[in-house]
Structure 1
Amino acid sequence: MRTRLSCLAIAAALLAGGAHAAEVGSYYTGWSIGKGFRLKQLDQSGAAAGYTYLVYAFENVYKMPDGGVRCDSGRDSEDTANGMNATLDYARRFTADESVDGSADRPGQALAGNFNQLAQLKKRHPQLKVLVALGGGEWSHQFPAGAATPALRSALVSSCINLYLRGNLPKLDGHGGIGAAAAVFDGIDLDWEHPGPDDKANFTLLLEEFRRQLDALGKENGKRYLLTAAINSTGDKMRHTDPAAYSRSLDWINLMTYDFHGAWSKQGPTGFQSNLYSDPASGDASPRSVDAGVKRFMKAGVPAEKIVVGVPFYARGWSGVSPANNGLYQPATGAAQGFEEGAEQYSTIAARGLKVFYHPLTRQLWTYDKGTFWTYDDPRVIREKAAYVRKQGLRGLMSWSLDQDDAAFSLSRAMQEVRQ
């Protein structure tokens, strides 16, 4: 009886918050609709049932005439630095054939577009949480100004919560309005890429302000709102932040453990972009790997249960690569050609049926064919990362990005094995 009671007590403690089931997430890009991707495909495949969260990417923050920095919406702009596509967010009308629940968007409907598709997906999959990502690689340049003072931080955070969590969207083509998106998002993912030398304290303070205001909103409506951040895993980026301090405000970190090597170094040498372990033979002055990044953050004071390991659903590649060692760690003449220079989505790479080489130490694979080298994750590689996450007691796995998986969602399903 004593043993049984002890086991029940332990189980109760775990359920009360002493442990977390593994998270499985992916970034869903607003522009993937232009590539033919629909959330309906994820739903009909059955893979949506294995996800615990999606992150909608990206929303921008803008410098305002009064000098402040705030979230904003309600129009479309092609300006790279200050871009916005509110039509895709909540005014683009999906047909019945495109939509998750099979209903067509109508004129005058408060919520249409990607936001409505996310709401439909959540209704079909109650376990699914959806966060909105602020910033990203091109839209992070206003964060330093917006985080500079307590008043600026408060105004920035308040504007984002009002827009995306209270759901008060500007009217656009008959859509939007007060509370229009109130049921869509369960939290915010800060994608400040990347804090500089002068931003260390303010990065922490901005996340503290997000946590404070999210908790206040939660008290209003009896809900726990999530706060996460996408963080580069390398030491050169981490040194401009205080992980032990800022992680206290977060539910977890989406650790970007990829893009270790790529054709931004056009002459190479080739190397792995998301290897689990480092290889002394790589010749790197400071070897990069998933394991090195995870240990770096844990040593800096981040609890293991707040680290979600990122995996790429795309490849990095070079052309004009020397054939020695099947192209690995060899010089190149330029970037391989894919959907963008030096990058190709997994679905395209996998369909080519090229011979795959697997590295037993790094647990990464690559292809080499006619001078072209690609490095990427396949289901086997991701399953090994899932096993690593379980062994290290980490929070889970996430990916960039959902639309780059194949039609069977093979990579998504491999990620979901982290919950087994």
Structure 2
Amino acid sequence: MVAALTLAMGVLIPAIAQSAEDHAACRPDGLYLQANVSVPYCNAYDNAGREKMGGNDRRVIGYFASWRNGSDGTPKYLVPNIPWGKVTHLNYAFAHVDGSNKVSVGNAGPNNPSIGMEWPGVPGAEMDPSLPYKGHFNLLNKYKKTYPNVKTMISVGGWAETGGYFNDQGVRVNDGGFYTLADDQNKINTFADSAVAFIRQYGFNGVDIDYEYATSAPKAGNPLDFTVSEPRRARLMTGYVNLMRTLREKLNAASAADGKYYLLTAAVSASGWILRGSESYQVTQYLDYANVMTYDLHGAWNKFVGPNAALYDDGTDSEMKNWNMYSTYGQGYLNTDWAYHYFRGSMPAGRINLGVPFYTRGWKSVTGGTNGLWGESALADQTKCPKGTGPDVGSTVPCGDGAIGIDNLWHDKNTQGAEEPAGANPMWHAKNLDEGITPDYLAAYGLDPATDPDDRVTGDYQRYYSSSLGSPWLWNAQKKVYLSTEDEQSLAAKADYIAAKGIGGVMFWELSGDYSFNAAKGQYEMGDTLVTTLYNKLNKAGPYGNTKSNAAVPADQLNVGISLSGYAVGDANYPINPELKITNNSTTTIPGGAVFDFDYASTAPCDMSQQSGWTLTNGPCGHTGNNNTGGLKGDFQHAKLTLPSWQSIAPGASAAVKIVYKLPVSTPSNWKVTFGGKSYSLSADYPRGSGTTNPTSNPTGPTTGPTTPPTTTPPTTTPPTGGNCTNPSWDRAKVYNGGNLVSWKGHNWRAKWWTQGEEPGTTGQWGVWEDKGAC
């Protein structure tokens, strides 16, 4: 660490604005602690482990879509259109994995919107001539000079480019993308190194991985990827973990080298079906935060007509009823509240952001339901279902009859170039439908009201709102069209939910779907109404939740690892039945009869069990009941797991137990072990701060009785030379905090702040180690 010099009273003195001791305190609770790397956490986090966001209390994260650049004749959404003062982070969508397993946005050129395109005559879109590239990247860095607290992330992947990429000619290369990359650690290393080089080159604050999806669920993700994803389903999660761990470590190393902190985030699924195949989502420890895609929860891929992004389940979801979710498990899983609690099971609330859509989803030919809600809409000819739905994937549930034409403005195209019926519209178009406005932009999207009845605004689009779901929709009774929407009321309700629960913030897809009213034209167009609603609610909502546990945890810690493995693949993974392995990395034997307490997400019923001769009891239960109307009642279910009296776990040894639960949970957390009358937290949780303590003896027998005071784990390095050196010998692998004393090479040394791997006697007068004299 190089200290700056400050002039004080005419003398140059070292100015240590943020000591390394602060960096240990600044690391967020539960974030992976990497050995031998001095990560400058305090550059991004305060001393409570909360992200610094220029005075904003919660995150407002917008995805910026590179293809809304006007080159196809549709309305543009450019960097100057971003409401810079109302966002905290921007995710650029998308970069991809190229044929060399590197992060790429293609080759530079005037048609490349990321690094080559220009927009002459557009106010605010003038290029910064000091930068060696053009396009959106140039403008992002130009505007960051005015808004330095806004962080930009390069998002890699996405639905269309998880398993392949679009080349410079716009042709998709189906080379496997993340699916094949994660098969090979050498490829992962290449990718991670390129990610570091990419963000350094283009001025990004970190990397956002949008891998859709690392799951063993059959036929999940983009149908174009099935040929590569299906044969690998059993190992996709393992590869994803390796990928994210490597990225975390490479970004940490770059952070230490550059003296600036680089973020690693991910877009993560909200679907209980996908998450059941995602094991225990073992990547949460590597993420600064998770952006939960709490949308696309219902859509025309099946016949069940319901909300795109409901906040709550109210016990009426027709898809949940079809699968007997309420009667069997007591809760439905296609809602924002359930998905939040899934990740809350292993992460602090503040390291989670909830996703909201700035677009619609919808069906036509809807029958039944209440004003369309929970009705049905099955495509009449099931042989014509879109790829990846209905009979195409062997589903027993018919595909839906998705809305088209005027009700599907942002229509995707299939590989034959035909419209994918989905009811996908930006919210500004939905607002025009709501008010019966025929806008002037229809021709730009290929619609022709004069010749095609499907392209006309006909009938009355009536807005409805369910307070029990937290979801609005439009219902056209004449056309039998249902469009699930978002607006100020629903986003205010979600923002209130985020604020009340201490959640980190909100993420939205995507900026160009927001709306404002153009009074001169008498129509809604791209704007910032929804972003403003979110920002005003969250800007001063108070500090977010920064701890994994809602209760106090033992101050003393044992170096014990927890892992879950052995998950069955796909639909065979029920009930969910992994092996939980406890690995004792401490110097102390954990005796028979030791009790392991832990929390697991309230997304599963409070009835976890075991099959290995241990004792497992549940309670207190955070949520019970026959549904989750109004949200899950608590964050956690609690369990106690007792090591059999005849079994102990020696230093370096492991013990395993098969556990059983019925709905998906992320990795159980908030562990403690009790024996010898004392309780210890576990290093597996990566609690804030650093270092572990161990009992000085190895108690056996009952878990009650006298408490043995913990001491710091003895060092293992060569003892110092010299005389009266009674302090512990310096250990290169050990973390030291300010005030810690060591002896090394015949001298005593005192740490001034947090340090690791810096040898006493080599750090200089202003360095971390203070020479306390010969010994």
TM class by shorter chain equals 0.7 to 0.9
* Corresponding residue for residue 48 of structure 2: 17
Deviations 1:309-363 (A, max 9, x none): 0000001011112365111111225211212132111010012324310112111
Deviations 1:44-102 (A, max 9, x none): xxx321210010001110233xxxx22234438xxxxxxx99711111122252434xx
Work out whether 1:131 is the aligned partner of 2:176: no
**Alpha-carbon shift at residue 379 of structure 1 (Å):** 1.2
Question: Hey, what's the Cα distance between the residues in 1 that align with 2:240 and 2:146?
Answer: 36
**Alpha-carbon shift at residue 269 of structure 1 (Å):** 2.7
- Identity fraction in percent: 25
The alpha-carbon distance between structure 1 residues 73 and 367, as it changes in their structure 2 partners (threshold 3 A), is closer
Question: Hey, what's the Cα distance between the residues in 2 that align with 1:73 and 1:375?
Answer: 33
Secondary structure at the aligned position of 1:54 is classed as strand
Secondary structure at the aligned position of 1:158 is classed as helix
TM-score (norm 2): 0.46
Secondary structure at the aligned position of 1:75 is classed as coil
Contact kept? 2:128, 2:139, Cα under 8 Å: no
Question: Hey, what's the Cα distance between the residues in 1 that align with 2:282 and 2:86?
Answer: 32
Contact kept? 1:203, 1:241, Cα under 8 Å: no
The alpha-carbon distance between structure 1 residues 242 and 367, as it changes in their structure 2 partners (threshold 3 A), is same
Unmatched tracts of structure 2, length 5 or more = 1-24, 27-44, 52-56, 164-176, 217-234, 326-331, 380-400, 412-420, 436-460, 517-526, 541-775
Secondary structure at the aligned position of 2:69 is classed as helix
**Alpha-carbon shift at residue 381 of structure 1 (Å):** 0.5
The count of corresponding residues between Structure 1 and Structure 2 is 372
> What is the one-letter code of the residue matched to 1:187?
G
The alpha-carbon distance between structure 1 residues 133 and 235, as it changes in their structure 2 partners (threshold 3 A), is same
Question: Hey, what's the Cα distance between the residues in 2 that align with 1:29 and 1:243?
Answer: 31
> What is the one-letter code of the residue matched to 2:112?
T
> What is the one-letter code of the residue matched to 1:282?
D
The alpha-carbon distance between structure 1 residues 244 and 319, as it changes in their structure 2 partners (threshold 3 A), is closer
> What is the one-letter code of the residue matched to 2:147?
H
* Corresponding residue for residue 528 of structure 2: 409
Structure with greater contact order relative to length (CA < 8 Å, sep ≥ 6): 1
Question: Hey, what's the Cα distance between the residues in 1 that align with 2:344 and 2:507?
Answer: 18
2:360 to 307, 315, 318: 315
1:186 to 179, 186, 205: 205
* Corresponding residue for residue 7 of structure 1: none
Question: Hey, what's the Cα distance between the residues in 2 that align with 1:151 and 1:223?
Answer: 26
* Corresponding residue for residue 75 of structure 1: 107
TM-score (norm 1): 0.83
The alpha-carbon distance between structure 1 residues 324 and 229, as it changes in their structure 2 partners (threshold 3 A), is closer
Question: Hey, what's the Cα distance between the residues in 2 that align with 1:216 and 1:381?
Answer: 42
Contact kept? 1:204, 1:242, Cα under 8 Å: no
**Alpha-carbon shift at residue 151 of structure 1 (Å):** 2.0
Question: Hey, what's the Cα distance between the residues in 2 that align with 1:114 and 1:270?
Answer: 38
Unmatched tracts of structure 1, length 5 or more = 1-11, 77-83, 168-180
> What is the one-letter code of the residue matched to 1:298?
R
Work out whether 1:325 is the aligned partner of 2:370: yes
2:343 to 281, 285, 297: 297
Question: Hey, what's the Cα distance between the residues in 2 that align with 1:275 and 1:324?
Answer: 16
Question: Hey, what's the Cα distance between the residues in 1 that align with 2:181 and 2:47?
Answer: 37
Contact kept? 1:60, 1:135, Cα under 8 Å: yes
Question: Hey, what's the Cα distance between the residues in 2 that align with 1:203 and 1:85?
Answer: 35
Work out whether 1:335 is the aligned partner of 2:402: yes
> What is the one-letter code of the residue matched to 2:284?
S
Secondary structure at the aligned position of 1:132 is classed as strand
Deviations 1:157-202 (A, max 9, x none): 112222x2121xxxxxxxxxxxxx2x2x110000110013311122
* Corresponding residue for residue 52 of structure 1: 88
* Corresponding residue for residue 392 of structure 1: 501
The alpha-carbon distance between structure 1 residues 349 and 63, as it changes in their structure 2 partners (threshold 3 A), is same
The alpha-carbon distance between structure 1 residues 86 and 57, as it changes in their structure 2 partners (threshold 3 A), is farther
* Corresponding residue for residue 146 of structure 1: 181
Q: Which runs of structure 2 are paired with 1:5-404 in the superposition (5 Å)?
A: 15-20=46-51, 21-34=57-70, 35-42=75-82, 47-64=83-100, 69-75=101-107, 87-100=112-125, 103-104=126-127, 110-141=132-163, 142-162=177-197, 164-167=198-201, 181=202, 183=203, 185-197=204-216, 198-241=235-278, 245-265=282-302, 268-283=303-318, 284=320, 285=323, 286=325, 287=332, 288-299=334-345, 301-322=346-367, 324-332=369-377, 334-337=401-404, 338=408, 339-340=410-411, 341-342=421-422, 343-352=424-433, 353=435, 354-369=461-476, 370=478, 371-404=480-513
> What is the one-letter code of the residue matched to 1:322?
T
**Alpha-carbon shift at residue 40 of structure 1 (Å):** 1.3
> What is the one-letter code of the residue matched to 2:249?
R
Contact kept? 1:133, 1:188, Cα under 8 Å: yes
Provide the aligned C-alpha RMSD in A.
2.3
Question: Hey, what's the Cα distance between the residues in 1 that align with 2:269 and 2:123?
Answer: 35
Question: Hey, what's the Cα distance between the residues in 1 that align with 2:135 and 2:62?
Answer: 19
The alpha-carbon distance between structure 1 residues 238 and 302, as it changes in their structure 2 partners (threshold 3 A), is farther
Secondary structure at the aligned position of 2:347 is classed as coil
Question: Hey, what's the Cα distance between the residues in 2 that align with 1:192 and 1:263?
Answer: 22
Question: Hey, what's the Cα distance between the residues in 2 that align with 1:413 and 1:227?
Answer: 26
Contact kept? 1:356, 1:366, Cα under 8 Å: yes
**Alpha-carbon shift at residue 366 of structure 1 (Å):** 0.7
> What is the one-letter code of the residue matched to 2:180?
A
